[in-house]
Amino acid sequence: MSSAADTPIDSLAPPAERDWRTLAELVALGAIWGGSFLFMRVAAKDFGPFPMVATRLAFGSVILLPLLWRARSTIRFSHLWKMLVMGALSAAIPFTLFAWGAERAPAGIGAIANSMTVLFAALVAFIGFGEKIGTRKAIALVAGFVGVVILASGRTAGENVAPAAVAGAAASFCYGLAANLIKKYLADISPTAVAAGCLLGATLLMAPLAWMTWPEAPIPTKSWVAVVALGVLSTGLAYAFYFRLIQRIGAPRAATSTYLVPLFGVAWAWMFLGEALTPTMGLAGVVILGSVIFSQKRKA
């Protein structure tokens, strides 16, 4: 029989207290990830995509490195190249696509496009791994793609945002592909070790590109602050926070935090950068986010 000392702290708290704590943590995680698009928008033009992403990954890797070291006994040589590939798909490529888009369009464009990750994960699982998709998710996928088309058709301050919207959708596809591959090929080690290893692998991949394209002009302090916040807060701490939630409440519930990312992404950009929510962005956000939520609902 286990004693109170052996029981997780959350199980000692009343159910109502646990529910409120979980809700608060999910909202906080959505706010942190939504803030990443604000930070990218601030720093992208001064850093450029490759240097910004490499710096972001370096700070994030430093935060998560202790988790990788703790799990070192479970990591075999065969895991290393897999982490390198997954690091490219789950971090290096999508981060670069979002950073490229942040140079060209408001932060809200990337935040809204990011919502497609859940739907792309379902599509990849259906096409590549033979999982059933179901009528509900099929309808949601079509609606989600319609939302991306709507998003790409808009203009902000006379500027065409289609390239940034397409880049954001491509980044979300990379996330969805990586999620399926990680589930298949890295399921035998802890999720936190996977997150840390993938970030470290992505850092190694991006370092040469960052070195070759590092800006010659001095980088302003505000952009350095934004990139440090992007790496430490929105990457390192957020990943650790997310996997802590997965271990406590399970992946499906933890994933609901991603529904809040576009809402916070648009809100932070409006509050701190004065970027307006255009009718096209609003409609696209409703369609994409609605399709994602619809895809997750199940019959009672």
pLDDT of residue 157: 56
> What tokens appear for 117 in the block?
């990750």
Longest dimension (CA), the chain: 68
> What is the length of the chain?
300
pLDDT of residue 91: 94
Q: What CA–CA distance (Å, rounded) separates 25 from 37?
A: 19
Q: Which residues contact 42 (CB under 8 A, 6 or more apart)?
A: 222, 223, 226, 273
Looking at the predicted structure, is the pLDDT value of residue 289 above 70? yes
The pTM of this model reads 0.86
Q: Which residues pair with 160 in a beta bridge?
A: 155
More confident residue, 299 or 190: 190
pLDDT band at 19 (very low <50, low <70, confident <90, very high): low
The tokens 């065409």 sit on which residue?
A: 160
pLDDT above 70: percentage of residues in the chain:
90
Overall average pLDDT of the 258-284 stretch: 88
Phi first, then psi, for residue 17 (nearest 5°) are -65, -40
Q: Of 263, 282, 276, give the one whose Cα is nearest residue 150.
A: 282
pLDDT of residue 26: 85
| Mean pLDDT score across all residues of the chain | 86
Mind listing the pLDDT tens digit for each residue in 110-155?
999 998 888 888 889 889 888 888 888 888 888 888 988 888 887 7
CA-atom Rg of the chain in angstroms: 19
DSSP symbols for 148-161: HHHHHT-EETTEE-
pLDDT band at 212 (very low <50, low <70, confident <90, very high): very high
Looking at the predicted structure, is the pLDDT value of residue 286 above 60? yes
Mind listing the pLDDT tens digit for each residue in 151-210?
888 776 556 789 999 999 999 999 999 988 988 898 888 888 888 999 999 999 999 999
Overall average pLDDT of the 69-89 stretch: 92
Mind listing the pLDDT tens digit for each residue in 224-252?
999 999 999 999 988 888 877 877 777 66
pLDDT of residue 83: 94
Helices (H) and strands (E) in the chain, counts: 15, 2
